[in-house]
Structure formats: C-alpha cells, structure tokens
Structure 1
Amino acid sequence: MNQLCPLCQQPLSASENGFHCQHCASDYARQALCPDCHQPLQVLKACGAVDYFCQNAHGLISKKRVQFVPVTA
C-alpha cells in the first residue's frame, strides 16, 4: 500500500525509521497497525527481535501483515 503525505498528498518513500516526502521535505514517524482491527500495535523488542502484539484479541501479528502508516506530530 502506498502512503501519501498528509500535507501535499504526494507519495511517501519508506525508510526503516519512518516516511519521507521528497516533494515538501517532510519526515514522519511510522505507526504499526493491526491488519484485522486497524488499531495501534504494541511493539515488543527483546534480544534484537521485534514483534508486534494486538491488545484487541488478535495476539501476535506477523511482521509481514503489519500495516505501517505515517504519524503526524
């Protein structure tokens, strides 16, 4: 899924830390959402591994299924 810049509606490029808009030079953090209920996921980090947990009865979510969206400040 391609994300659009909240300011200028141009496509965002993804990076490991978030999103960047080439058009308006804006940077955005990214938020992990559950693909089933579209609610924010809890990020669990331990021993170099990153896992995602849905607190709305969906449990652990595969990294391949997590939806990342830009977060505006």
Structure 2
Amino acid sequence: MNENNCPICEDELSWKGEYHCDSCDESFKKVGFCPECEAELEKLQACGAANYFCNACNELKSKSKVRFEFQPS
C-alpha cells in the first residue's frame, strides 16, 4: 500500500524531483514532525540512509514514529 497520497484528492503522488499529483497538478514536499514535541524534523542523509533529527529535543528520532505530512512546495 502506498503511503504517498495527495492530501487534496488522495491519488498516488509521483516522484519528479519532488512529489507531484498529476490529477491536481500540484507539487508537495514531505515534512516529518517529532512524535514528542511536534517540531519539524531535519532530515539527515548519508551513505544511503536517512535519519531524522529533532533540534528541539536534540536527538535522533525513529522513522517509524515520525509523523509525515505533505505540504505545498
């Protein structure tokens, strides 16, 4: 099951350098939020792995606990 659905029409988003909905013709960015304090997380990418860091809590967060949201880009 695809978890990358358009927040407007619920169609599947495609990847074209950014998330894009062909039905709505809108582009989105995927933003992660801290499960404890709801602050926007910083995505750290290295060696093919992605980690999420909360500057407010000053610690790494597990991807499985992060709340993701699509926002217009």
Same fold (TM over 0.5): yes
- Aligned residue pairs: how many? 69
Contact 1:41–1:53 (8 Å) recurs in 2: yes
Instruction: Decide whether aligned partners of structure 1 residues 15 and 31 sit closer, same or farther in structure 2, where only a CA change above 3 A counts.
Output: farther
Of residues 55-64 and 12-21 in structure 1, the stretch that sits farther from structure 2 once superposed is 12-21
Which amino acid in 1 is paired with 2:61? I
Counterpart of 1:4 in structure 2: which amino acid? P
Change (3 A) 1:34 1:72: same
| TM-score after normalising by structure 1 | 0.66
Compute the displacement of 1:3 (Å): 6.7
The C-alpha deviation readout for 1:14-73, integer Å capped at 9, x for no partner, is 567765546423231111111121111011111111100111125110010111111223
Distance across 1 between alignment mates of 2:72 and 2:60: 26
CA RMSD of aligned residues (A): 2.6
* AA of the residue aligned to 2:12: S
Q: Secondary structure at the match of 1:13?
A: coil
8 A contact 1:3–1:69 mirrored in 2: no
Relative distance call for 1:68 and 1:36 in structure 2 (3 A) is same
**Unaligned stretches of 5+ residues in structure 2:** none
Relative to the length of structure 2, the TM-score reads 0.66
Could you tell me which residue of structure 2 aligns to residue 56 of structure 1? 56
% same residue? 32
